[in-house]
Amino acid sequence: MTYTPGNTKIGFIGLGIMGAPMARNLLKAGYDVTAHTLETEKVEEFVKDGGKGAASVAEAAKDADVVITMVPASPHVEAVVLHEGGVLDNLRTGGTLIDMSSITPQTSIEVAKAAKAKGIKALDAPVSGGEAGAIEAVLSIMVGGEQETFDAAKPILEALGKTIVLCGPAGSGQTVKAANQLIVAVNIEAVAEAVVFLKKSGVDLKAALDVLNGGLAGSTVLTRKKDSILAGDYKPGFKIDLHHKDMGIVTDAARAVGAAVPAGALVAQLVAALRAQGDGGLDHSALVRGVKRLSGENPDGAN
């Protein structure tokens, strides 16, 4: 069976910064979506947009063909999927669980084993692209699981992203996502250091970032973040708090396989420091604020 619009009921758990636009894109694609999240007002907004609301995880899962979870971290996935009354207790035998949260590879492996024991198929399918990518349905989706399950679920994933790749068995999606977060964090830190260096050197910062982004130094990070950095606007598309969690996953997973990640370890400490300074709720591009502090500047000063 392939999960196409018109023949698929989806239960969606988690309507946060990423989850809300993703659930709406599934509605736009023609899927029957029932959503649940802890904030009842977000469920009400989703219903106003044409979706269905559920008062609990169990209610969202019980009549679904597919359940998608998009929650902050491993403990949240364990709570909504594995615990009594969760997804695996309510999703029908033969159904599919797609966890799109960013969690540890080991948690994804445990979820896949528990799902298999109940006759439920599972994919770990974390995403990259931030809030803008979620809104525009152009996310990169890295998937772990079985080929047959991936093939059946691909139409659903195509409603959410543009680059969709099966990376290997259960847990592989999360391992690739950890590598993604390593690259993104180091990239943002390099941009942050360049921004402060350029500004202190008296260069026209906007002009400098435009020309840098046209050459080998260009990146999706610069394309997505340079205007907000110039404006000093750190409204979260992806919070420092969440990147702090992800850098813990990176360093732990790398240690487990004996891989050295020296730059990642340093940036993990800089992310942790920024969080300790009270900036955990800001966008991860707020690493600029940390570099400003290290350079003796007021982080709230003009860029």
Q: Per-residue pLDDT tens for 12-53?
A: 999 999 999 999 999 999 999 999 999 999 999 999 999 999
- CATH superfamily assigned to domain 176-294: N-(1-d-carboxylethyl)-l-norvaline Dehydrogenase; domain 2 (1.10.1040.10)
Q: What whole-number distance in Å separates Cα of residue 200 and Cα of residue 191?
A: 14
Mean predicted lDDT score pLDDT of the chain: 97
Q: Catalogue the E-assigned strands of the chain.
A: 9-13, 32-36, 52-53, 66-69, 96-99, 121-124, 127-128, 139-144, 161-168
Intra-chain end-to-end CA distance of the chain, in Å: 53
pLDDT at 107 over 90: yes
pLDDT at 1 over 90: no
| Residue 302 binned pLDDT confidence (cut-offs 50, 70, 90) | confident
Q: Which among 82, 89, 111 is positioned nearest to 98, based on CA atoms?
A: 111
Q: Which residue of the set 42, 177, 199, 292 is catalytic?
A: 177
Classify residue 238 by its DSSP letter: S
Average pLDDT score over residue span 263-267: 98
Residue 225 known to be catalytic: no
Tokens found for residue 292: 């400003």
Task: Report the pLDDT value the prediction gives residue 189, as an integer from 0 to 100.
Answer: 98
pLDDT at 226 over 90: yes
- For CATH 3.40.50.720, the residue range(s) in the chain are 9-170
Task: Report the pLDDT value the prediction gives residue 156, as an integer from 0 to 100.
Answer: 98
Tokens found for residue 187: 């990239």
Please, which residues have CB within 8 angstroms of residue 129's CB and are 6 or more apart in sequence?
138, 139, 140, 161
Amino acid identity, residue 1? M
Average pLDDT score over residue span 204-221: 97
- Judge whether 10 and 35 are in contact, CB under 8 Å: no
CATH class of 9-170: alpha beta
Please, which residues have CB within 8 angstroms of residue 197's CB and are 6 or more apart in sequence?
none
Please, which residues have CB within 8 angstroms of residue 25's CB and are 6 or more apart in sequence?
134, 137, 159, 160
- Judge whether 143 and 176 are in contact, CB under 8 Å: no
**What percent of the chain is predicted at pLDDT more than 70?**
100
pLDDT at 204 over 90: yes
Task: Report the pLDDT value the prediction gives residue 301, as an integer from 0 to 100.
Answer: 83
Pairing of strands 32-36, 9-13: parallel
Q: What whole-number distance in Å separates Cα of residue 6 and Cα of residue 4?
A: 6
Amino acid identity, residue 171? G
Please, which residues have CB within 8 angstroms of residue 256's CB and are 6 or more apart in sequence?
none
- For CATH 1.10.1040.10, the residue range(s) in the chain are 176-294
Q: Tens digit of pLDDT for each residue in 140-192?
A: 999 999 999 999 999 999 999 999 999 999 999 999 999 999 999 999 999 99
Residue with tokens 């400098």: 208
pLDDT at 303 over 90: no
**What percent of the chain is predicted at pLDDT more than 90?**
98
